[in-house]
Amino acid sequence: MRISDLIAQYIMDMMEQDESADSSATIKRNELAETLGCVPSQINYVITSRFTPEQGYIVESRRGGGGYIKITRISMDKRTTVLHLMQDIGNSLDVEKASAIIKELVVRGFIDVPTANLISAAVAARPYQALPQNQRDELRAAIFKNILLTII
């Protein structure tokens, strides 16, 4: 198991121990790095790549001697989640971010795997290859938002 997977799993385990509606984990970056035998920057990488708003998380941090990072999994109904995602997408969407959103929709049970596969095909890189990069991401965002609207 890669260290980034280990860090993510450790944080997820902490969140599962929290029995509130919006589970959370509060960590001290340096202490967690020491516990897991890694450098603090690896903790930052995992948090910024795996605990994003698209994946249903809010990350708060406080710097300084008593500093901490609090990661909260937000629970929202399907409609609220989709509207939040549409706002977060904005006017541009790359393939990686689209994939993360699709994966989160499956995890939350809002779409099934066959639907996820269809959406993935619609926003994959190949259909947009003939367009300049900025137009690819703009068109992908528009199509993905339209798909999200049909979901709700």
* Lookup: tokens for 100: 């993360």
Query: Mean pLDDT of all residues in the chain?
Result: 87
Tell me how far CA of residue 35 lies from CA of 30, 31, 91, 92, 152, in angstroms. 9, 6, 41, 39, 43
Q: How far apart are CA 60 and CA 72, in angstroms?
A: 8
In this structure, the number of other CB atoms found within 10 A of the CB of residue 139 comes to 16
Helix (H) / strand (E) element for 96: namely helix 95-107
Q: How far apart are CA 97 and CA 25, in angstroms?
A: 24
pTM of the model: 0.61
Write down the domain spans for the chain: 3-73, 78-151
Give the domain 3-73 fold. Phenylalanyl-tRNA Synthetase; Chain B, domain 1 (3.30.56)
pLDDT tens digits for range 71-118: 988 777 888 888 888 888 889 999 998 998 898 889 888 999 999 999
